[in-house]
Structure 1
Amino acid sequence: MKSTLGDLNNHLFAQLERLSDEEIKGDDLLEEIGRAKAVTSIATQIINNGNLVLQAQKFHTEFKSKDLEKPKMLEG
C-alpha cells in the first residue's frame, strides 16, 4: 500500500465529515472522537516525517558533493 500526503489530506477531511455528522451521538460520538484523536496523532507524525525528508533533501541539494551520500530514505 502506497499512501501520499494527498491521501492523508483525504483521510483527514473524511474524519472531519464523520465528526460533523449530527446523527452520531453518545457512545458512538465518543468512539469517533477517540478515532479522530488517533488519526490526528498519526497524521502529525507523517507530516513531521515529510518535513524531515524535505529538510534532508534541501540540505543534500545545497551541499551536494561527491563525499556526501544521499540517505536511503530519499532515494527513488
Structure 2
Amino acid sequence: MRNTLGDLNNHLFAQLERLSDEELTGEKLDEEIKRARSINDVAKRIISNGTLVLQAQKFQTEYKSKDLHKPKMLEG
C-alpha cells in the first residue's frame, strides 16, 4: 500500500503548519484555506472508510460462528 493512515496524519499536520504561517496573507492565505478544506473533506472520507472496515471486521469476528440469516429488507 502506498499511503497509510500515518501518512494521512502527516499530511494533516503539514497542512496545519502551512495555515499557521503568519507570513501567509491575502490570496495566498485564501488558496491555502481552500486547499485545507479539500484535504479535510478527503481525510474525513478516508477515516469514515477505515471506520467502516473496522466495524465490519469486528462484526465478522463476533458473529463468525453463529448462523446468521440475511435481513428481510435485503431479500429480493
Give TM class, smaller chain: 0.7 to 0.9
- Aligned equivalents of 1:61 and 1:7: distance in 2? 28
How does the TM-score come out when normalised to structure 1?
0.83
2:51 aligned partner = 51
* Consecutive aligned runs of 4 or more in structure 1 exceeding 6 Å deviation: none
Q: CA RMSD in A?
A: 1.8
Counterparts of 2:23 and 2:14, CA distance in 1: 16
TM-score (norm 2): 0.83
Shift of 1:2: 1.4
Output the CA distance in 1 between the equivalents of 2:62 and 2:2: 29
User: Superposed, which structure 2 residues align to 1:1-76 within 5 Å?
Assistant: 2-65=2-65
Count of residue correspondences: 68
Following superposition, the deviation at residue 64 of structure 1 comes to 1.0
Stretches of structure 2 that go unaligned for 5 or more consecutive residues are 69-76
Q: Deviations over 1:1-51 (max 9, x none)?
A: 611111000000000000000111100000000000000000000000000
Task: Provide the rounded CA distance (Å) in 2 between the counterparts of 1:3 and 1:49.
Answer: 14
Flag structure 1 segments of 5+ consecutive residues without an equivalent. 69-76
Q: Distance in 2 between matches of 1:41 and 1:51?
A: 15
Greater radius of gyration (CA): 2
